[in-house]
Structure 1
Amino acid sequence: MRETRMTDADTIVLPRLGSLEAIEDPWGEGHDEISSEPPSDTRWLRLAAWLVPALLTGAFGVARAAPPGLHLDKLAAWGGDASSWRDTWSMLRWEDAAPYHLLGRAWVELVGTSELALRGPCVLAMATAAALVGAMAARMFAPGTGVLAGVIFALLPTSVRYAQEAQPYALTLLAAVLATWLLQSAVDRPRPWRLVLYAAAVGLLGLCNVIALLLLVGHGWTVFAFRREVALRWLAAAVVGGLPAAGLLWHATQQGVRLAQASSPSLTGLAATPGQLFGVAALGAVLLALALFSLPLRHPAAVFTAWAVAPPLVLLLVAQATPIWQPELLHFTLPAWATLGAAGLANGGRRVRCWR
């Protein structure tokens, strides 16, 4: 009987082993914060996570969307979008941003060629991207973290800049956020149609900016690390999605086109990267410091860490062989840095509450 009682006692204390999960997750990256919030608060926070960033980005984009005069890059965009369909189509022979100008040409047919109208697609793209950033952070971390991530992203000087520029940066950034959103759905609940949507988002990303396909390195790392059973299906979808950009890249190289005016990385250039990427060097340093609080590589943090870190590292390695380094080419990592910064703020707040 004594031996039986000892076995029962062991069985009784077994549920206490669940506390080890809290030790593995000292930063609270799980869903504890979601479950601890009242349902009504959670619902409103989830709504605010996508609505507030979208409204902020849209307001900042429209606030100065029609100042007098156009810069040279906007004049080039205006010339491409306002030209005839035949001239716009001929840009495919030499212009790496031709898919964006094809979209811009269709937009001009609908709304006209004013400067406000010309910047409209970029404002809409950035507002949609900000909404997705907040919603994705809310889904993968917590609703409060989602609000922080979306607001940080909306307030970045470069986010405001890309919302106001008639250039493919905003659409590229939106495609990167959309591809990452669809990736999580595809690997969590793998269905053929989900993989098809992911491949389509990757295709849009590559057509907007072929360098942005470096995002697939980060996607691949998270898939092989956490969802290895769907790795082959992800790889097939990624390859199919990258084919249009590969064809355009091959066609451009045959015409002797340089995809970007870039250079080899130097110490001075690398030191200037945070300021060029985030708009203000000090702001970039703060985000990098906050991101350190999100580095424990559980799945939510790992997705954004790979998104933020892998593309710059790969581009830096490639730049050792060919002059292709340009910080602006990494603008599609901004949502990841904003989300990591928000997660760092949330984690720091939880730790302060625990110490009190």
Structure 2
Amino acid sequence: MKITRVETFAVPPRWLFCRIETDDGAVGWGEPVVEGRADTVRTAVHELAGQFLIGADPRRIEDHWQLMTKGSFYRGGPVLSSAVAGLDQALWDIAGKTLGAPVHQLLGGPVRDRARAYCWVGGDEPAAVRDQVAAQVEAGFTAVKMNGSGRMNRLPNVAELSEVAARAQAAREVLGPGRDFAVDFHGRFSAAGAVRAVAALEPYAPMFVEEPVLPEYTHLLGRVTASTTLPIATGERLFNRTDSLPALQAGAAVLQPDLSHAGGISECRRIASLAETFDAAIAPHCPLGPLALAASLQLAFCTPNFLIQEQSIGIHYNTGAELLDYIADREVFRFHDGHLLRPTGPGLGVEIDEKAVRKADGSAKSWHNPVWRHPDGSFAEW
């Protein structure tokens, strides 16, 4: 078996899919994308495919991963890691399909029968949290996540801290003690500011507080973890094991590797094992499309220290298309009391509607995250 073709498809709302085809007709799908840099990642996918994959046996997944990540003198970073991630997903998809088994079965078999999921409430500038949380409780979810703040001073003042606390209080009042919410800070605070903001959340006991500091300040994360009893999460902007290790050493309780950013199934499996040695949980980051979610679930079902799964159905970023628009059988992503059931189909466990993908290719408007500024005109973290 040899790889004969690698294709990419840029589809709304902001996703990039890749398709690997072999000479015997086997096809695998993956999702290599950096939000806001889809065109750049698309180029990297084709560079890697031309250099390392075309003409090769797709079943040598680990060897391909080693070559794609280490075969160039300059390595790493979000673009290359995301290109590798999508190709790695597609190779695992082929492996599962040719062997007639889901990927999680190839990785040791299931350790659970269903995976808890959460959904987002609010947007970049969170408002009306109470009503949105209530709607998700009505829909059967047992957990939600929200941004802790909008545009924020690096050192928050009393009014800003009060707003952070008020949103958390509103969520807790709706959820009660038997459901959970997580708070994402998006690195909008300095380390000192994060300590104060996390303290403001303690009375409301969020499941975890995410990215209290930017990933480039991971060496300061220990100041935050040591200041609180709340679990601290990070990892969506960490792209391999060596990036993740300092966060674990600093006391992160939850790692959030993104299977479309951090080297795919192969590397995220290793990140999960590394986290297990620190008694830390895994909550894969996934505000993306159906293939990223499918790959995340394959990891979730074979990973003992899995906590909860992010998913983007109905998320505020999705305009022009939805996750379910590109799959043939929507049942695999149907929620059952806030959980997703173990996929049993071969490979990634989803059947892509190839006709819909090809029709949508090229129709996506170029998406870029907002650029925020403080009132004085200086740059503000989004």
The structure with the largest alpha-carbon Rg is 1
TM-score by length of 2: 0.24
The structure richer in helix per residue is: 1
The structure richer in strand per residue is: 2
TM-score by length of 1: 0.26
Greater relative contact order (Cα 8 A, min sep 6): structure 1 or 2? 2
